[in-house]
Amino acid sequence: MTAPVEQHRPGRAARQASKIGARVPVLDTRRLQLRAPRVYDFAAYAGILCDERAQYMGGPFTREDAWLDFTQNIAIWLLHGHGMWTIDAQTTPSAGFVLLGFEYSDPEPELGLLLTAGAEGHGYAQEAAQAALTHAWTDLGWDTVVSYVDPQNARCIATMTQLGARRDRTAEATLADGSYVFRHNREAV
């Protein structure tokens, strides 16, 4: 079921939302564009979080909980000046999402990745993550960012390793959920 809040409503408010979204930095790579999320991207987001594949992220979620997560990650832009981008691939709009953000209990900024099932296996996760990390280093002036990964998520662990991230066992010791913490450092670039 699609809730009324998920539907685009043309008019002045939609034009205002478009103006606000235009303030989010657009990151272009060889094959991808990272841009501000729009209401119609939620279908892809819900498709990820409401599926069994979301088991590594505390899911599967209800559609309402997916909406709350979606809007929270977008709101980070207004509160902290960074947040979630939608990943548009050349032939796959709304292929996934990349995040430089915080969940409520995160002790430091996180690089997070979510891809639709159809977008997996094309190298989009690594390409999008590298663009977000470059933005973190060059535009935000950060020196480090972490990725929290479920120990059973072999695909994500492989992506973090390919990005040059290293496990931070000291940071892992501070977490109560057993997640791996992969640390990305500016110096590794």
| 114 touches 101 (CB < 8 A) | no
Hey, what are 15's tokens? 């034009």
State the DSSP H helix or E strand holding residue 100, giving kind and residue range, or none if neither. strand 96-101
Arithmetic mean of pLDDT over the chain:
94
9-60, pLDDT tens digit by residue?
899 999 999 999 999 999 999 999 999 999 999 999 999 999 998 999 889 9
Cβ-Cβ contacts under 8 Å for 108 (sequence gap 6 or more): 102, 144, 145, 146
- DSSP-derived pairing of the beta strands 144-149 and 180-185: antiparallel
d(CA 139, CA 153): 30
What confidence category does residue 188 fall into, taking pLDDT thresholds of 50, 70 and 90?
low
DSSP reduced 3-state for 110: strand
Q: What domains, with CATH codes, occur in the chain?
A: 26-188 (3.40.630.30)
Is the previous residue joined to 60 through a cis bond, with omega within 30 degrees of 0?
yes
CA distances from 47 to 13, 25, 176 (A): 26, 25, 28
